[in-house]
Amino acid sequence: MSRLAFRDLCVWFGEGEGRVDAVKHATFEVPSGASFGLVGESGSGKSTILRALMGLAPNWSGEMVVGERRLGAKRDRAFYKEVQMVFQDPYASLHPRHSVDQVLSEVLKLHGFSDIDRRVNALLADVGLGPGYRFRYPHQLSGGQRQRVAIARALAPEPSVLLLDEPTSALDVSVQAEVLNLLTDLREEHGLTYLMVSHDLAVIAHMCEATAVMQNGEIVEMLSVEDMRAMRAGHPYTRHLLESASGYNPNAEQMA
């Protein structure tokens, strides 16, 4: 059973001569409970797919299906309760004047929860932040802590699908691993479906069971995680990506 399905999705920005086609005829499915990666270089349209799904990119055609529901132009609150997104840059995704408590309790209120006080603490515990962080403002938090707050915010409505837009690329290498492990744990605990965007094949290989490789707005190849590990790639662009990723691997150098 597929949780998310994209059929012939096109997304563009601007009209007439200024029109830029960011995503061209993308078709793929994410099974329920799976973790699916979208990989590609900057500007390949991978984040745009997430934004189109969330209703942040208004110009699109094709078909997007969440569960049983075909999406139209508008998203209702029920959709946002089911699908949530974690943004790339935790320095930009938290309101500078809102404390952690304000951020989380507002979201809980919007979704009509009543036991807000208990839930805020539970959410913080979920993402590995103690109650001492509850009344801090973003400028009193490190990048990794901010991203944990952003993850807690996305988890607040108890969604079943989480879209991750390069959730670790703005973070230190040491913190990246922590956040990725947290995301892996949360997926197990809450039975979440992930659709994850990254330019880093190592991150995708660590997190996802299958991935789509994108170039210039088109999906050029679908890979399973076994294919990735065995460096089996049909498309030259994918081979190029895999090779450049393994170039950073110290073990690969020893073998050579």
Please give the Cα distance from 16 to 5 (Å, whole number). 29
Residue 253 binds other proteins (CB under 8 A): no
For other proteins, how many residues bind (rule: CB under 8 A)?
Answer: 40
Q: Which of 35, 44, 47, 93: binder of other proteins (CB under 8 A)?
A: 93
Please give the Cα distance from 215 to 49 (Å, whole number). 13
Phi, psi torsion values for 40, nearest 5 degrees: 165, 170
Subset of residues 116 to 155 that bind other proteins, contact rule: CB under 8 A: 117, 131-133, 135-137, 139-140, 150, 153
Q: Indicate the residue among 7 and 81 with the shorter CB distance to other proteins.
A: 81
Q: Distances in Å between the alpha carbon of 156 and those of 113, 118, 162?
A: 10, 12, 11
Number of H helices, E strands in the chain: 10, 10
Q: Which of 22, 30, 94, 152: binder of other proteins (CB under 8 A)?
A: 94
Subset of residues 69 to 88 that bind other proteins, contact rule: CB under 8 A: 75-77, 80-81, 84-85, 87-88
Phi, psi torsion values for 113, nearest 5 degrees: -80, 150
Subset of residues 212 to 241 that bind other proteins, contact rule: CB under 8 A: none
Residue 13 binds other proteins (CB under 8 A): no
Q: Which residue has the tokens 């049909």?
A: 234
Tokens in use for 66? Answer: 């969440």
Residue 22 binds other proteins (CB under 8 A): no
Q: Are strands 83-86 and 161-165 parallel, antiparallel or unpaired?
A: parallel
Q: Indicate the residue among 35 and 84 with the shorter CB distance to other proteins.
A: 84
Q: Indicate the residue among 74 and 256 with the shorter CB distance to other proteins.
A: 74
Residue 158 binds other proteins (CB under 8 A): no
CB atoms < 10 A from the CB of 62, how many?
15
Q: Indicate the residue among 156 and 220 with the shorter CB distance to other proteins.
A: 156
Please give the Cα distance from 127 to 151 (Å, whole number). 7
| Interface positions with other proteins (CB under 8 A) | 54-56, 75-77, 80-81, 84-85, 87-89, 92-99, 101-102, 106-107, 110-111, 117, 131-133, 135-137, 139-140, 150, 153, 156-157
